[in-house]
Chains A and B, each alone.
Chain A
Amino acid sequence: MRERISRTGQDVGLAETPNPEECIAEFSGVSKSYTTGRVQFQALRNISCRIPKGQTSYIFGPSGSGKTTFLNLLGVIDRADNGSVTILGTRVGDLSDSAAADFRLRHIGYIFQNFNLIPVLNALENVEYILLRRGLSPRDRRERAEKYLHAVGLKDFLQRRPGELSGGQRQRVAIARALAGEPSIIVADEPTANLDSRTTGEIVDLMQRMQDEMKTTFVLCTHDIDLINGSGSLLRIVDGQIDHTERLS
């Protein structure tokens, strides 16, 4: 696989991306720049691509290439300067702040590099917490949270607070939290960067297994080529541009 990716400059563009019906999100002509002081830095330059539905998409590229920026736009927590991001037919750049929040609640699940659990809540409550706004009864909330925590293998750690869990266990809670919302897309920005290699393997396997079982769309960004295994598709970003896309099988 390492070999294939290193064949750069080949088949760039939308040629290999799936057709619109199988697409959950589409970037078209998206640019994003950051201004620090007087310096403007172009983090994404005129990106167009599609994210296939029900698979794992890997966003791969060197550090500083714009992966997180890309994921932020896909996760509807940031806005593009130019171009449009369309998710499930909605141009998310046009949403108001609160509509964007509702959109995230319904459609986006997050897995963060630093786990980002709420420190004062235990594992179970962390998962339940995001179900609060779903209008579920307390009982349904609890059942659903337990179900996903069992699924990620934390049956015996429900009452532990994040401070009492290992990094891998915390990330499992975060995965359960992302899954429990039953979102359309789960975005994960370097979810294993803070974990050792054995735990990394476990977490990657877990995500793959969950993806298989639930057919949720995962978009995972990493600069670690070893994470990319299994099926799905791959998008390589270099210097704010997509320089390679490919189907993995």
Chain B
Amino acid sequence: MIWQIATRNLFRNARRSLMTVFAIGISGLAILLFGGFVTSIWFGLQTSIVQEQGHIQIFKRGYQDYGAADPNAYTIDHYPTVIDTILSVPELRSKVAVITPQVMLGGIAGNQREDNSKTFIGKGVVPSDYSRMRRWDSWNLGIRQGDLPLRDDDPEGAIVGIGMARMLGLCDELRMTECKDPPARVLPPSGKGADFSDLIAADLPASQNRDTRPRLDLLAAGSGGAPNIVSVFVNAAQTQATRAVDNAMIMLPFEQARKLLYGDAQRATVVLVQLREPNENQAVKALIAQTLAAKGLDMEVLTFNEVDPTFNRVFAMFSFIFAVVSLVLAVVIVFTIINTVTMNVMERINEVGTVRALGFHRAAVFRQFLAESFLLGLFGATLALVLGVVVSKLLNSVGIQWTPPSNAAPLTIELMVADNLLLLGGTVGFLALVTVVASILPASKAVRIPIVQALHHA
């Protein structure tokens, strides 16, 4: 009967109830949309990171701390052993989607034709593996980054950042619209740019001299400390996530990079592991670490967010904003409800007195008011759910894009509301809780009025 009375009382003040339900519903809508956005960041950002870096990264122990200063000492000595060891465990083998080595390198890149040179940071990747990683989409978000313009059968191909292309004067040659080569330079009288063409001319197969793509000569310190040089031919320039990286990035095939640094040694900076399933990072990480240790390989096994906390930070930032927004909306709801319930209570003080005179406990009357607020909250939450699903579908169909801080390419915002049970349930619970909490104060005031006084309130 408590619910019967509650429902009827709400309908009795239909207009007021409706306004309250709308206030709750709109607030709930805001929470849902923002929550959907944060969820989409969580999944979308993770997907794009996993597409680039895999879930788990294996380094030689100490690389994270000291590797930058002494890459040579902190390089995996024989990466095929690491890969084979991991794949020899059936459980790991079944869980791994891609396992691939990479070489990180740094040095000077020269464009002989423009007489131009610049420091670079480079990444040597296995083109086919890398392209395969980029197809990972186990959350079915439809995030596609397209294949890398590098191929296994093109060992001298390379990709540079757009900034890098600009500074080295490759824009025209690459027929790029989004960048312009530097204005013609006035060379100092005696000056000549870095030119190590003599060093390489001998190494180059004749065919490469006829390649039409812009050529870059990469100079880096080999494992012994002696400088070494390879030439690459730039296939394309692509935007990188940050300006600093964009201005210096060169991506080249793994073998080329490996040879440049290590000659014949089967060394690699890192082995990336991409898993088939999204939520197995910790378990697989532990198993890999254990497997490698058992084999006597002293490796550091890290998840992508341990290597680079950007994801955690971006997500933490949006979660914080989400929490603040929810809190503000909660305050709005609380005041709306307090207002409504206070009005309901004021009108019914006489009824409170009557019911208590008839022998109902304070608590029963209190519960009655809470039940009414709970219903308001429930109706409001239902409205929020309906609006949330409809509006998010509408917005998704528009296809708004944004570029997260850690990404090079924009992601299409897919507000995850409709299929996000946690968010939906959480929002309903949150709204119901807030409305009930908000009615505690006015309701408890009402039941504390002495009966005689309440009855007087005609």
Complex contact B5–A133 (CB within 8 A): no
Q: Which residue of B lies closest to A75 (CB)?
A: B357
Kindly list chain B residues whose C-beta atoms are within 8 Å of the C-beta of A120.
Answer: 5, 8-9, 12
- Residue of A108, A129, A181 contacting most chain B CB atoms (<10 Å): A129
Shortest distance in angstroms between B350's beta carbon and chain A's nearest beta carbon? 7
> Residue A114 contacts which of B9, B362, B452, B458 (CB distance < 8 angstroms)?
B458
Complex contact A77–B1 (CB within 8 A): no
Cβ of A130 < 8 Å from any Cβ of B? yes
Cβ of A72 < 8 Å from any Cβ of B? yes
> Residue A112 contacts which of B12, B354, B359, B362 (CB distance < 8 angstroms)?
B354
Complex contact A97–B458 (CB within 8 A): no
Kindly list chain A residues whose C-beta atoms are within 8 Å of the C-beta of B451.
Answer: 77-78
Q: Which residue of A lies closest to B9 (CB)?
A: A120
With A77-B451, A110-B357 given, is the CB distance from A116 to B9 under 8 Å? no
Cβ of A147 < 8 Å from any Cβ of B? no
Kindly list chain B residues whose C-beta atoms are within 8 Å of the C-beta of A78.
Answer: 450-452
Kindly list chain A residues whose C-beta atoms are within 8 Å of the C-beta of B300.
Answer: none
Q: Which residue of B lies closest to A118 (CB)?
A: B351
Cβ of B356 < 8 Å from any Cβ of A? yes
Shortest distance in angstroms between B450's beta carbon and chain A's nearest beta carbon? 7
Cβ of B361 < 8 Å from any Cβ of A? yes
Kindly list chain A residues whose C-beta atoms are within 8 Å of the C-beta of B206.
Answer: none
Shortest distance in angstroms between A57's beta carbon and chain B's nearest beta carbon? 19
Kindly list chain B residues whose C-beta atoms are within 8 Å of the C-beta of A72.
Answer: 452
Q: A110 vs B353: C-alpha distance in the bound complex, in angstroms? A: 12
List B residues 298-354 near A (Cβ within 8 Å).
Answer: 350-351, 353-354
Cβ of A104 < 8 Å from any Cβ of B? yes
List A residues 117-155 near B (Cβ within 8 Å).
Answer: 118-121, 125, 128-130, 132-133
Cβ of A102 < 8 Å from any Cβ of B? yes
Q: Which residue of B lies closest to A101 (CB)?
A: B361
Cβ of B455 < 8 Å from any Cβ of A? yes
Q: A9 vs B452: C-alpha distance in the bound complex, in angstroms? A: 31
Kindly list chain B residues whose C-beta atoms are within 8 Å of the C-beta of A177.
Answer: 358
Kindly list chain B residues whose C-beta atoms are within 8 Å of the C-beta of A36.
Answer: none
With A78-B451, A125-B1 given, is the CB distance from A116 to B359 under 8 Å? no
For the complex, count residues of B whose C-beta is within 8 A of A.
24
Complex contact B355–A102 (CB within 8 A): no
Q: Which residue of B lies closest to A106 (CB)?
A: B359
Shortest distance in angstroms between A246's beta carbon and chain B's nearest beta carbon? 28
Kindly list chain B residues whose C-beta atoms are within 8 Å of the C-beta of A98.
Answer: 361-362
Q: A220 vs B232: C-alpha distance in the bound complex, in angstroms? A: 108
Complex contact A119–B358 (CB within 8 A): no
Shortest distance in angstroms between A102's beta carbon and chain B's nearest beta carbon? 7
Complex contact B12–A104 (CB within 8 A): no
Complex contact B359–A104 (CB within 8 A): yes
Complex contact B362–A130 (CB within 8 A): no
Shortest distance in angstroms between B361's beta carbon and chain A's nearest beta carbon? 5
Complex contact A101–B5 (CB within 8 A): no
Q: A104 vs B354: C-alpha distance in the bound complex, in angstroms? A: 12
With A72-B452, A77-B452 given, is the CB distance from A101 to B8 under 8 Å? no
Q: Which residue of B lies closest to A103 (CB)?
A: B359
Contact with A along B428-458 (1 / 0, CB 8 A): 0000000000000000000000111001001
Kindly list chain B residues whose C-beta atoms are within 8 Å of the C-beta of A77.
Answer: 356-357, 451-452, 455
Q: Which residue of A lies closest to B10 (CB)?
A: A120
Kindly list chain A residues whose C-beta atoms are within 8 Å of the C-beta of B452.
Answer: 72, 77-78
Cβ of A207 < 8 Å from any Cβ of B? no
Cβ of B360 < 8 Å from any Cβ of A? yes
Q: A168 vs B260: C-alpha distance in the bound complex, in angstroms? A: 105
Shortest distance in angstroms between A126's beta carbon and chain B's nearest beta carbon? 10
Cβ of A5 < 8 Å from any Cβ of B? no
With A78-B451, A116-B455 given, is the CB distance from A101 to B355 under 8 Å? no
> Residue A118 contacts which of B355, B361, B455 (CB distance < 8 angstroms)?
B355
Complex contact B358–A130 (CB within 8 A): yes
Contact with A along B274-294 (1 / 0, CB 8 A): 000000000000000000000
Kindly list chain B residues whose C-beta atoms are within 8 Å of the C-beta of A116.
Answer: 350-351, 353-354, 455
Complex contact A129–B12 (CB within 8 A): no
Kindly list chain A residues whose C-beta atoms are within 8 Å of the C-beta of B458.
Answer: 114
Complex contact B455–A112 (CB within 8 A): yes
Complex contact B5–A118 (CB within 8 A): yes
Kindly list chain B residues whose C-beta atoms are within 8 Å of the C-beta of A101.
Answer: 356, 359-362
Cβ of A105 < 8 Å from any Cβ of B? yes
Contact with B along A41-77 (1 / 0, CB 8 A): 0000000000000000000000000000000100101
19 contacts between A and B (CB under 8 A): A72-B452, A78-B451, A97-B362, A101-B359, A102-B359, A105-B358, A105-B359, A105-B360, A114-B350, A118-B355, A119-B12, A119-B351, A125-B1, A125-B4, A130-B358, A130-B359, A132-B1, A133-B359, A181-B358
5 closest Cβ contacts across the A-B interface?
A105-B359, A120-B8, A116-B354, A104-B359, A77-B451
Q: A77-B452, A118-B355 are in contact. List 14 more A-B contacts (CB 8 A).
A: A72-B452, A77-B356, A78-B451, A78-B452, A102-B359, A104-B359, A114-B458, A116-B351, A118-B351, A125-B1, A128-B1, A129-B1, A130-B358, A132-B1
Q: B residues engaging A (CB < 8 A)? A: 1, 4-5, 8-9, 12, 350-351, 353-362, 364, 450-452, 455, 458
